[in-house]
Amino acid sequence: WQTLSERINRVAPSATLAVDSKAKAMKAEGIDVIGFGAGEPNFPTPAPIVAAAAEAVQDPKNYRYTPTAGLPELRKAIAEKTLRDSGYEVDPNQVIVTNGGKQAVYSAFQILLDEGDEVIIPTPYWTSYPEAVKLAGGVPVEVFAGADRNFEPSLEDLEKARTERTKAIIVNTPNNPTGAVWKPETVKAIGEWAVEHHVWVISDEIYEHLNYDGAKTTYVGAAVPEVRGQLLVLNGVAKTYAMPGWRVGWMIAPIDVAKAASKLQGHMTSNVNNISQRAAIAAVSGSLDAVYEMREAFDRRRQTIVAALNDIEGVNCPTPTGAFYAFADVSALLNKPLGASKASYASTSELAAALLDEGHVAAVPGEAFGAPGYLRFSYALADDDLVEGMKRMKQWVEA
């Protein structure tokens, strides 16, 4: 008999976590691997946030469950932060605190989708979106846009993909994996299109503060106020405040949808770690100075990595203006002899595996993002490691 459900068998493992755990396993064996795999800031969480947690852990009142939807002070702080950063008002009752942005993504589809409902996913996409859609019984519909259009989907392509089962569309700007910051016109047009066709917009804003070269995040809820009744905003502290391990994210939704998310969470996880929520209050209600400092470092690394990638024969990397990813077209390296072994590789999955095994450099293959032919490099690692990793990759490719 079959042990596992069809539902779980339909889902692919997280490719980004897989690359990262292989790199970490190699490191544990004593192999010196440079990891461009994980989307994880290398900075420590800023001191005032850690201090808030240290204080909270001393107080026994914080050893208890919190309300399922989150600490009222945190929900209020998130509502205030939304007004500060996105420029529109939300009620704290619209905010549900989740175990990382990832739970917010998962919950969004669980509460919106019925079996067979379709979700339009601009491609390249973050690797968990289609899997979260499938886990909810939905059907991911990919709409691809290449580097020639800054990886921004066109309305014509969205229209071609739209059917009577289209329930939602994902907007993720600044984007993982491409690092693209979508133009205001694109975000606005998608919001208006969604209103016209009664499509839910799921706006993942987790990289909102990581913009470079003057690029600015466009918030769909601000650009198209009419969309707010059918908008789920997803966000979290992991990337902005260097807090990936604290596991705090959130969803902002119309009140009835927020109640549904809370009902689901009440059966899944009860609430987010109390101490982490206290730390998150300090993060979202504090100043953004530490964030801007980290952004400066990311910006420097961005310029270094893009130049280094483009200096490798057969690699073409557009300059990203957001998040902390460089998304390089390496299709010219396929089916060519590479590395000391002079073996050749038919796919970027195979190429990434060989680059890790032989070159000791970890990058995530484009297949994980619906974009074969590309490799994603996270540049959230130390400057020296970045330079060393690029040197190794160049040597391996051009051996």
Residue closer to ligand PLP by CB (options 176, 276) is 176
Tokens of 275: 């101490």
* Closest chain position to ligand PLP (CB): 100
Going along the chain, which residue ranges are E strands?
A: 34-35, 95-98, 118-123, 139-144, 166-171, 200-204, 231-236, 249-252, 325-329, 361-362, 364-365, 374-378
Which residues bind to ligand PLP, rule: CB under 6 A?
A: 39, 100-102, 105, 126, 172, 176, 204, 206, 236, 238, 244, 249
Residue 242 beta carbon to ligand PLP: minimum distance, rounded to whole angstroms: 11
Residue 248 beta carbon to ligand PLP: minimum distance, rounded to whole angstroms: 7
Residue closer to ligand PLP by CB (options 290, 338) is 290
Residue closer to ligand PLP by CB (options 19, 333) is 19
Residue 345 beta carbon to ligand PLP: minimum distance, rounded to whole angstroms: 26
Q: H or E segment at 159? A: helix 155-161
DSSP β-ladder status, 364-365 and 325-329 = unpaired
Residue 16 beta carbon to ligand PLP: minimum distance, rounded to whole angstroms: 7
Q: Compute the distance between CA of residue 226 and CA of residue 234 in angstroms, rounded to an integer.
A: 18
Among 12, 72, 118, 3, residue whose Cα is nearest residue 271: 72
Residue closer to ligand PLP by CB (options 278, 392) is 278
Residue closer to ligand PLP by CB (options 270, 335) is 270
Residues 6+ apart with CB under 8 A from 1: none
**Do residues 323 and 179 lie in contact, with contact meaning Cβ atoms separated by under 8 Å?**
yes
What are the Cα distances from residue 265, in Å, to 11, 70, 101, 102, 284? Answer: 21, 10, 13, 13, 22
Residue closer to ligand PLP by CB (options 195, 375) is 375
Residue 362 beta carbon to ligand PLP: minimum distance, rounded to whole angstroms: 15
Tokens of 4: 């596992």
Residue 234 beta carbon to ligand PLP: minimum distance, rounded to whole angstroms: 7
Residue 103 beta carbon to ligand PLP: minimum distance, rounded to whole angstroms: 7
State the DSSP string of 67-131.
Answer: PTT--HHHHHHHHHHHHHHH-S---GGGEEEESHHHHHHHHHHHHHPPTT-EEEEEES--THHHH
Residue closer to ligand PLP by CB (options 36, 126) is 126
